[in-house]
Every structure is written in structure tokens, then in C-alpha cells.
């Protein structure tokens, strides 16, 4: 049986984007007459028939936003994304919108799911999380003109003045800078940083805040790295504390690393060694460890503002001036 023509087939035949075809079908009044006629000819020539359920969804007042649900992997820091999804659902509901969760085990699988959901009219826009260098999901979404915002920056040459797409992120450098400045003022000049291996956009950003604060104070400290593991962080910190010149405090890239550092300090007989984590999860709260609070609720607000603007009703790609295509949320240091 012959394959039915798709929106992409119409867009290719008419020489326009997928979003333009969608606009001609659903809101033709916003498309220039010449372009509208070209798309309508391509639709007639190909015999394309819009999915009626999709059309109904796209013309209703309440749009639907899709977001990937990360697989459960246990651990400590996953609670931040859980809070973000919960806040996004609440804030979207306040705007008369809905959230559609979908599962995928890899970026490639997520692209397939996004394609199925957008083509079937089940979602009109996407929020992606966990962006990274060379992220294929953002390129796929941009090429197809699908409205989306990322929780995480593009990690390009200039994410602020010339971003590749709309994004909201937490200012990791500001968080670790505040943590380092606090320890410099209260603990001493030798502040170590326990982070992830170089190359992680988020991890490198958090390390930068520590370096900037140390440089401004004319101080120096050890930089340690390990994968996201309480056990590895504990072993690495134990080795550091066994040396003659031990640190006055430790700033960590995550709460998991902070818990490992704290346990090592307690085992070494210095349970009061100041350690600051990042994420402010219930685990560090229960253990009395200071941490940097990401404020995912503010991230959710920023995502919806970028995605929807002031309309509150229709999700559509937005034109933004340089410097207006992002929201950078400053985290809060919680001292215990």
C-alpha cells in the first residue's frame, strides 16, 4: 500500500517549513497570500489529508506541551527534575494548558517519540531537559519549526547574545561562586572544589564559579574530580584529608558528591569540615549539609514565558531579539 503523504512531504513540495504548512491548515490568515496558495497547491497535488484529531487539538484554546520523563535511576539528585515537571504542570494548568509526559531511553528514541506526538497532533510544543554539546534533539526541533524551550542552555559559542534556541537554565557559576565566597569568609582561604570530569557543560559552569571566587580573593585550593558517586567522592575526599595541608572547606558540583565528602570528613575525625553541595535535595537537608538551591519552580515559570509569551492561549514559535531568548535563574545558597 502506498505511503500517505505527510506534512513534511507538503513542506518539501512547497519549499516551506513544516510550521508554515501547519499555519496554512489551522490559521491561514497569518500566512502571506502567495505562500498560502503555494502550500494549498502542494496539498491538492499530493492529496494530503490533515489528521482531523490533530487539527482539532491545534485549534483549541488549551494547547498541549510534551516533556520527556527521565527513566528512574535512583540516586539523590533526580528530585530536581521531578520538582521541575511538577511545577511546570501546575503553572501550565494555570494558563489553561496541559502537559503530556513521554518516555525515551536515548536522544535518538526521544526524537522518534517527539515525531510521533507532533505528527499525530497530541502535542503542539516540547520542553526538553538535559541539553549537551551537539544535542541532536535541538537541531531536529529547529529544522522542523516545532516550538520548544530547553531547560538547559545550547552550550554554543554565545548562548546569550546569539543563542541557537530558546532556553532557561540555572546560573550554576553564580551558585558555586556564592558558596565559595561564603566558605572563604567563614572557614579559611583553602577551599577545594569537588566536581565532575571536564567536558560536562553544567559541571564546567559550576567549576567556573569556584575559580572566579578563588581568583578574586587571591586564594588557592585543590580541584578534584570524579563521576557522580557518593562512594567515589568519599574515597577521593578521604585521600585529600589524609595529606598534610588539608582544605578549610569543600564546594561540590552536586549533593551526591557533597554527601561523600561529608562522610569522609566525619570518618577522618573532622565532622565539622564545611561542605557545600548543589541541588539542595532532601538528603542533604536531613544530614545538615549546606547546598545551593536550584529553584526549579522559577525555571518552570521562565519556560512558559518564553514558550508562550503573554497570550496564555496559543503556543507558537516566537521571534526574540538578541539577549531576550533566554532566562537565567540565579540559585540560592542555603546554609545549615
pLDDT in tens, 266-306: 999 999 999 999 999 999 999 999 999 999 899 999 998 88
Fold of 7-50: 434 Repressor (Amino-terminal Domain) (1.10.260)
Burial of 194 (0-12, 13-18, 19+ CB in 10 A): buried
Residue of 308 and 3 predicted with greater confidence? 308
CA separation, residue 267 to residues 186, 233, 284 (Å): 23, 13, 17
CA separation, residue 59 to residues 39, 98, 121, 300, 314 (Å): 19, 14, 11, 24, 9
Residue of 319 and 248 predicted with greater confidence? 248
- Collapse the DSSP code of 271 into the 3-class scheme (helix H, G, I; strand E, B; otherwise coil) and give the result: coil
Ranges 9-13, 79-83, 109-113, 174-178: which has the least confidence: 79-83
Same fold, 62-169+296-329 and 172-293: yes
- Collapse the DSSP code of 314 into the 3-class scheme (helix H, G, I; strand E, B; otherwise coil) and give the result: coil
Residues of the chain with pLDDT > 70, as a percent, come to 85
Which CATH superfamily includes the segment(s) 62-169+296-329? Answer: Response regulator (3.40.50.2300)
Q: Round the CA-based radius of gyration of the chain to a whole number and report it.
A: 24
**Residue 191 dihedral angles phi and psi, to the nearest 5°:** -110, 120
Q: Parse the chain into domains and list their residue ranges.
A: 7-50, 62-169+296-329, 172-293
Q: What is the mean pLDDT of residues 32-44?
A: 89
Which CATH architecture group holds 172-293?
Answer: 3-Layer(aba) Sandwich (3.40)
Cα-Cα-Cα-Cα dihedral sign, residues 106, 300, 319, 33: positive
Helices (H), 218-317: 230-241, 255-267, 282-287, 296-308
Amino acid at each position: 500500500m502506498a505511503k500517505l503523504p505527510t506534512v513534511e512531504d507538503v513542506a518539501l513540495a512547497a519549499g516551506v517549513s513544516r510550521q508554515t504548512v501547519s499555519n496554512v491548515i489551522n490559521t491561514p490568515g497569518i500566512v502571506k497570500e502567495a505562500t498560502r496558495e503555494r502550500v494549498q497547491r502542494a496539498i491538492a497535488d499530493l492529496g494530503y489529508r490533515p489528521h482531523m484529531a490533530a487539527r482539532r487539538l491545534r485549534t483549541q484554546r488549551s494547547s498541549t506541551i510534551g516533556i520527556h520523563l527521565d527513566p528512574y535511576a535512583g540516586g539523590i539528585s533526580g528530585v530536581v527534575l521531578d520538582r521541575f515537571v511538577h511545577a511546570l504542570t501546575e503553572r501550565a494548568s494555570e494558563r489553561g494548558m496541559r502537559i503530556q509526559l513521554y518516555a525515551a531511553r536515548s536522544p535518538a528514541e526521544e526524537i522518534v517519540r517527539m515525531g510521533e506526538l507532533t505528527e499525530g497532533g497530541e502535542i503542539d510544543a516540547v520542553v526538553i531537559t538535559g541539553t549537551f554539546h551537539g544535542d541532536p534533539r535541538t537541531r531536529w526541533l529547529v529544522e522542523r519549526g516545532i516550538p520548544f524551550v530547553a531547560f538547559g542552555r545550547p552550550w554554543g559559542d554565545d548562548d546569550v547574545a546569539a543563542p541557537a534556541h530558546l532556553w532557561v537554565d540555572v546560573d550554576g557559576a553564580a551558585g558555586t561562586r556564592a558558596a565559595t565566597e561564603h566558605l572563604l569568609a567563614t572557614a579559611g582561604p583553602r577551599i577545594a572544589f569537588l566536581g565532575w570530569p571536564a567536558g560536562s557543560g553544567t559541571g564546567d559552569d559550576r567549576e567556573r564559579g569556584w575559580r572566579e571566587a578563588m581568583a578574586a580573593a587571591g586564594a588557592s585550593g585543590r580541584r578534584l574530580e570524579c563521576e557522580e558517586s557518593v562512594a567515589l567522592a568519599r574515597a577521593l575526599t578521604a585521600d585529600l584529608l589524609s595529606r598534610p595541608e588539608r582544605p578549610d572547606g569543600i564546594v561540590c558540583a552536586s549533593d551526591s558528591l557533597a554527601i561523600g565528602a561529608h562522610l569522609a570528613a566525619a570518618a577522618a575525625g573532622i565532622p565539622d569540615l564545611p561542605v557545600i553541595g548543589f541541588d539542595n535535595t532532601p538528603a542533604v537537608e536531613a544530614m545538615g549539609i549546606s547546598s545551593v538551591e536550584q529553584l526549579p519552580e522559577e525555571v518552570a515559570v521562565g519556560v512558559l514565558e518564553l514558550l508562550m509569551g503573554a497570550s496564555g492561549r496559543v503556543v507558537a514559535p516566537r521571534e526574540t531579539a538578541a539577549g531576550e531568548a533566554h532566562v537565567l535563574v540565579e540559585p540560592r545558597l542555603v546554609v545549615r
